[in-house]
Structure 1
């Protein structure tokens, strides 16, 4: 019987090629989109789960308020790891990372460097802690000695291959010599260490032995014993403040107590973050690798669900609409003895057959667009065809989808009364108009919601691009690793400035794009106590920094080579004045110090006030910042170019580079591109929204197109009569289109308030954000109406221009 049902189902699908195409293609698009999103979500949820005992590993985070600044740090003090392992029996082991940033490496005896972008110091227990095996070398001893390092497989192959790596000597940044003591496999793309390629021995980093509990610079991870409950560990963790941090602070503030510290509005709280939660739940001020958010996972999950539901709605709509054609078939079957269950089974088998055909088409679509999707999402996702669990889930989902999408049409058609259908009566009710209309409203409501979301995301990104940041990021090229020129750094800068296309240039490690960051606690002269501390960013710059960055001085002056005293001067931003409680002119001449615990304090004098500029993401408020003069600057060379042919100017700068730093890699980037990387997640989200909004509209239009065709066919005789009685093509088209536009209008009224609420919640993550204007909703509504008019209008015009003689002959 099942075989017979399959044959009948196949014949019915072949008899209705247009209907079959619309259903199959609509379902395939929805299934392909949902499949890709599900693979993306699975990848996001799998982060860091590959490490041994991942469920017992936690990072120690620090919440600090001091000196007017609130810091949400993912780092802890250098002595934290040792104290945790020594004082708490719940802690099985602990390790630290200290990010080093980028590094130039070359094999001893060679002249050409290779750049590694992510380098970190790490404790020697790193391999056992995370269960990482070495391809060559001994994990017990690999990082126990100073000046040793371990490379990833890819990094090792750049220099000497994996097998020959052990014992090789590398020169780091042309100065320090390190010995390779091991090679590990490349770390998984879904791990927090994915971008790191060089791991250096922490024992060779002097700062790691510091007893300083006030500086929080080390990513600290702990592994709890199997029987430990992390909730019970939280209270003991915060006793570290009383045991270690407060006694350390009393060396600099002899009268400080816990009560006075808290009474000043300050605090230091430690808490744990599960390793497997970091990627989706951590958005702290510094991370070892860029993270995503759980919010994005929820958004994409809803989009995936929307796509599937839209595809199913299409199937239900078209099936119930085309049920009119099959009404007599149902009547004959019922008359010949078929019961309701037999009919339901037959129609469900048809929907299941369409689902499996759609699955094949969906897999082909997914394979074709996967490379583009990976590029869009910044992933390296592969469809796991060899995984039986994948096939089990996909086939089960296809069966469920077939049953879900076919259930309403099956039960609907099985209820047809044989007498009415065989007599041709009751045809006006056969189509299930009210349910069908509700489903169309639902489809377009989702589409309009996605249109609103896409417009808002891109508006926020445009706002970020066009906002006055307090500096000019355009036409600035950043040249990295200028220390490669050694003592010729200054001469390199001067030669670049001689180029006619160069407007200005500056040397610094610190820029208002992803770059170095440094905090310090400062005090006004005469008030060196913790209640009056000012937590401030400290950036060292040269004389040309403010001019090159096109920043605005609102009081005082810039650094000048004419003033030798500028070595002890500082230029602060407006946010610093707010904490000091003074105006721009009042601030000039004030003295500040970050020296504590010494007999003779060294003060810096405020000589200027610079207008606030955004040095963090627009999600963050602008904090206090001070610019200090560096008389021997290095770091990054920022060059502001005149408008023109940038490629030829870059080529000339590279020629100068090769003269001053021969054999060293020439690495450059434009500041606006570097700035944009801060918002990679939002840009990707916007593009994903746009793609899947188009897909949802396409699915909705396929359904609307089919319904319009069916509606026009059902009203063929009515159209012929109207034309004979004098109705014009325009009037008939208007009549056929209006009914559908009413449904689209209802969907707009439903979706716009939901879109407004959802996107306002999304914008709350930004301290600086747009206000959603009325035109966003108007544009979304017009787009939906326009798409509907084009979709329905074609079928309406096609029906309206038919010769009325043919229409009236129609049965």
Structure 2
């Protein structure tokens, strides 16, 4: 019987190829989208789970408010790890990282450097802690001695290969010599260490041995013993503030008490963040690698579910639209003794067959578009062909989808009354209109919601691009690793400045794009009270920094190399004045010091006030910042005149090669560097747009089916109206307005939901757009326009039929 049902189902599908194609294509799109999103979500949820005992590993985070600044740090103080291992029997082991940024690396005896982008100091416990094996070397001793390093496989192969790595001497930034003591495999792409290629021994980094509880610069991880629970550490962890932090601080502020500290509005809180939660749930000021958001997972989960449901709804509508053509078949079958259950089974087998064919098509679509999706999502996802679990879930999901999609058409068709259907009267049996209408409303409500989301994300990104940031980011190129030219940095700068295509240049480590960050506590002259502390970014710049960045001085003056006193001068931003409680002119001449020593402090005199500029993401409020006059040489910013940038870059590279032969010429445009801060939002916007288009396409297929069903059901009515003088336009209008009512209901439902959801998303930004009414108007207009185009075709097709044929339908 099953074989017979399959054969009949196949014949039925072949008899109506166009509707079979629409059903298959619609379901295939939904399944393909579901597969892609499921693979994406699985990858997101898998982060850092590959490490040994990942469920017992936690990172120590800190929330700090001091000196008018609030910090949500992913780092802790240098002595935190040792104190936790000593004080808490629940802690099995610890490991710390201290990010080093990028560096130039070369084998001693060679001239050409290779740039390694992510380098970190790490404790020698690193490899045992995370269960990382070494390809060569002993993991127990690899990072024990100062000036030793471990490379990843890719980093080692750049210089001497894996097997020849042990004992090799490497020169860092042309100054420090390190010995290679091990090589590890490249770290997984779904781990927080994925971007790091060089690990240097923490034992050789002197500040890591200091008992400095006032500076949080170390990513600190703890591993609990198997029987311990993190809840046991919650209160004792914050007890470390009283035990260690306050006694340390009271060395410098003898009058400070916990009560006075809290009364000033300050606080220090420690937290333990599970390792496996970091990627999706941690959004702190200083993450070790770029994280995603659980919100994105939820959004994509709903989009994937909606697309599959939309495809299923589309199948239902198209199937019921074709029901009248099969009414007599059902009547004959029932007359010949077929039971309702037999008919339901027959139609469910048909839907299952379509689902299976759709699955094959969906897999083909997935394979073809996966590279594009990876590029869109910034992933390296692949289909797990060898995973029985993947295929089992896929088969089960397809079966359930087939049953769900075919359930309503099966029960709908099976309840036709044979006497009526054999007489050609199916009007009474072709009910269920309210259900089909509700399905179309649901489809378009989702589509309008996604359109609203796409417009809002795009608007916010445009707002970010066009907002006055307080500095100029266009036509500026950042040249990295200027220290590679040694003591010729000024000569390099002067020669590049002499190019006719160059407007200005400046040297600094610090720029208002992803770059170095440094925070320090300052005190006004005459005060050492913690209540008067000023927590401020400290950026070291030259005299050309403000003009090159096109920043605005609202009081005072810029640095001047002719004034010897400017070596201890500082230019502050407007946010600093709020903490100091003074105006721009009042601030000039004020002196602050970051020396916590009571005797002979070095004071910095405020000589200027610069207008606030956004040096961090627009998600954050602008904090206090000071520019200090220094001969730093981290990066060279070159502001170019409009014209042929490629020839200007070629000229700059030629000068670089003259001053730094054999050193890599590494550069990036400042606006591109700025845009990387919002890469996640840009990807989300593109994903919204792609899936919005898919949802509209699927919704249109469903509407097309319902329009065909409606036109078929009203064939006689249309014939009668034409005989009585109705025009094609009038009939088309009448048929179309019925569907526009449903689209209107969908718009009314989706607009408040879209407004609420996108406002919640915008709350992540301190500087954001207001959602205008026109956003919803445009989304509604697009939905109505698409509906008219879809329904209009079927309506016109029905309206132009010869009324004689319409009236002979019996």
TM-score (norm 2): 0.99
Secondary structure of the equivalent of 1:320?
A: helix
Distance 1:304 1:112 in 2: 49
Counterpart of 2:737 in structure 1 is 738
State yes or no: 1:37 paired with 2:37.
yes
State yes or no: 1:78 paired with 2:84.
no
> How much has 1:606 moved relative to structure 2?
0.4
Secondary structure of the equivalent of 1:159?
A: coil
Judge conservation of contact 1:22–1:706 (CA < 8 Å) in 2. no
> How much has 1:800 moved relative to structure 2?
3.1
Distance 1:301 1:441 in 2: 21
Counterpart of 1:119 in structure 2 is 119
Counterpart of 2:526 in structure 1 is 526
1:340-392 alpha-carbon deviations (Å, 9 max, x no partner): 21111111111111110000000000000000000000000001011111000
Secondary structure of the equivalent of 2:305?
A: helix
Counterpart of 2:710 in structure 1 is 711
Secondary structure of the equivalent of 1:111?
A: coil
1:671-698 alpha-carbon deviations (Å, 9 max, x no partner): 1100010001111111000010011011
Distance 1:229 1:624 in 2: 39
Distance 1:220 1:705 in 2: 59
Judge conservation of contact 1:27–1:308 (CA < 8 Å) in 2. yes
> How much has 1:526 moved relative to structure 2?
1.1
> How much has 1:325 moved relative to structure 2?
1.6
Distance 2:802 2:667 in 1: 69
Distance 1:580 1:535 in 2: 11
Distance 2:429 2:527 in 1: 86
State yes or no: 1:269 paired with 2:262.
no
Distance 1:457 1:66 in 2: 34
Secondary structure of the equivalent of 2:709?
A: helix
> How much has 1:282 moved relative to structure 2?
0.2
Distance 1:773 1:423 in 2: 56
Counterpart of 2:447 in structure 1 is 447
> How much has 1:810 moved relative to structure 2?
4.4
Secondary structure of the equivalent of 2:322?
A: helix
Distance 1:426 1:127 in 2: 74
Secondary structure of the equivalent of 2:177?
A: strand
> How much has 1:803 moved relative to structure 2?
4.3
1:432-487 alpha-carbon deviations (Å, 9 max, x no partner): 22111111111000000000011001101110111111111111110100111111
User: Equivalent residues in 2 for 1:533-682 (5 A)?
Assistant: 533-630=533-630, 632-682=631-681
The farther-off stretch of 429-438 and 97-106 is 429-438
The farther-off stretch of 518-527 and 261-270 is 261-270
User: Equivalent residues in 2 for 1:30-179 (5 A)?
Assistant: 30-179=30-179
Counterpart of 2:11 in structure 1 is 11
Secondary structure of the equivalent of 1:678?
A: helix
User: Equivalent residues in 2 for 1:296-307 (5 A)?
Assistant: 296-307=296-307
Distance 1:373 1:503 in 2: 41
In structure 2, relative to structure 1, the CA distance for the partners of 1:806 and 1:411 (3 Å cut) is closer
State yes or no: 1:376 paired with 2:376.
yes
1:159-191 alpha-carbon deviations (Å, 9 max, x no partner): 111111111111111111111111111100000
Distance 2:115 2:586 in 1: 47
1:263-302 alpha-carbon deviations (Å, 9 max, x no partner): 2111111110000000000000001100001111100100
> How much has 1:90 moved relative to structure 2?
0.6
1:546-584 alpha-carbon deviations (Å, 9 max, x no partner): 000000000111111221111111000000000011110
Judge conservation of contact 1:614–1:622 (CA < 8 Å) in 2. yes
1:312-361 alpha-carbon deviations (Å, 9 max, x no partner): 11111111222122222222222221112111111111111111000000
The farther-off stretch of 41-50 and 320-329 is 320-329
Judge conservation of contact 2:470–2:614 (CA < 8 Å) in 1. yes
Distance 2:601 2:750 in 1: 63
> How much has 1:410 moved relative to structure 2?
1.2
Judge conservation of contact 2:145–2:201 (CA < 8 Å) in 1. yes
Secondary structure of the equivalent of 1:607?
A: strand
The farther-off stretch of 638-647 and 405-414 is 405-414
State yes or no: 1:409 paired with 2:413.
no
> How much has 1:524 moved relative to structure 2?
0.5
Secondary structure of the equivalent of 1:380?
A: coil
1:188-235 alpha-carbon deviations (Å, 9 max, x no partner): 000000100111111111111111110000000000011111011111
The farther-off stretch of 420-429 and 7-16 is 420-429
Judge conservation of contact 1:68–1:535 (CA < 8 Å) in 2. yes
Judge conservation of contact 2:436–2:706 (CA < 8 Å) in 1. no
Counterpart of 1:509 in structure 2 is 509
State yes or no: 1:330 paired with 2:320.
no
Counterpart of 2:433 in structure 1 is 433
State yes or no: 1:767 paired with 2:799.
no
Structure 1: 5+ residue runs without aligned partners? none
Counterpart of 1:180 in structure 2 is 180
Distance 1:564 1:392 in 2: 75
Judge conservation of contact 1:137–1:181 (CA < 8 Å) in 2. yes
Secondary structure of the equivalent of 1:239?
A: helix
1:600-652 alpha-carbon deviations (Å, 9 max, x no partner): 1111110000000001100000000000000x220010111111111111111
The farther-off stretch of 77-86 and 595-604 is 595-604
Distance 2:109 2:735 in 1: 82
Judge conservation of contact 2:480–2:634 (CA < 8 Å) in 1. yes
Judge conservation of contact 2:474–2:671 (CA < 8 Å) in 1. yes
The farther-off stretch of 332-341 and 24-33 is 332-341
Judge conservation of contact 2:416–2:429 (CA < 8 Å) in 1. no
Judge conservation of contact 1:733–1:800 (CA < 8 Å) in 2. yes
Distance 2:292 2:34 in 1: 20
Judge conservation of contact 1:22–1:703 (CA < 8 Å) in 2. no
> How much has 1:805 moved relative to structure 2?
4.8
User: Equivalent residues in 2 for 1:796-807 (5 A)?
Assistant: 796-807=795-806
> How much has 1:806 moved relative to structure 2?
4.6
Counterpart of 1:754 in structure 2 is 753
User: Equivalent residues in 2 for 1:192-271 (5 A)?
Assistant: 192-271=192-271
User: Equivalent residues in 2 for 1:347-366 (5 A)?
Assistant: 347-366=347-366
Counterpart of 1:318 in structure 2 is 318
> How much has 1:310 moved relative to structure 2?
0.2
Distance 1:447 1:478 in 2: 43
Distance 2:44 2:497 in 1: 46
Structure 2: 5+ residue runs without aligned partners? none
Distance 1:407 1:137 in 2: 62
> How much has 1:49 moved relative to structure 2?
0.3
Judge conservation of contact 2:343–2:414 (CA < 8 Å) in 1. yes
> How much has 1:541 moved relative to structure 2?
0.3
1:472-522 alpha-carbon deviations (Å, 9 max, x no partner): 111111010011111111011111111111111100000000000000001
1:113-158 alpha-carbon deviations (Å, 9 max, x no partner): 1111100000001000000000111101111111111111111111
Aligned length, in residue pairs: 810
Distance 2:432 2:13 in 1: 21
Distance 1:227 1:5 in 2: 58
Judge conservation of contact 2:415–2:429 (CA < 8 Å) in 1. no
State yes or no: 1:281 paired with 2:281.
yes
Counterpart of 1:783 in structure 2 is 782
The farther-off stretch of 730-739 and 295-304 is 730-739
Distance 1:101 1:247 in 2: 32
> How much has 1:723 moved relative to structure 2?
3.6
Judge conservation of contact 1:320–1:432 (CA < 8 Å) in 2. no
Secondary structure of the equivalent of 1:413?
A: helix
Judge conservation of contact 1:320–1:431 (CA < 8 Å) in 2. no
Secondary structure of the equivalent of 1:286?
A: coil
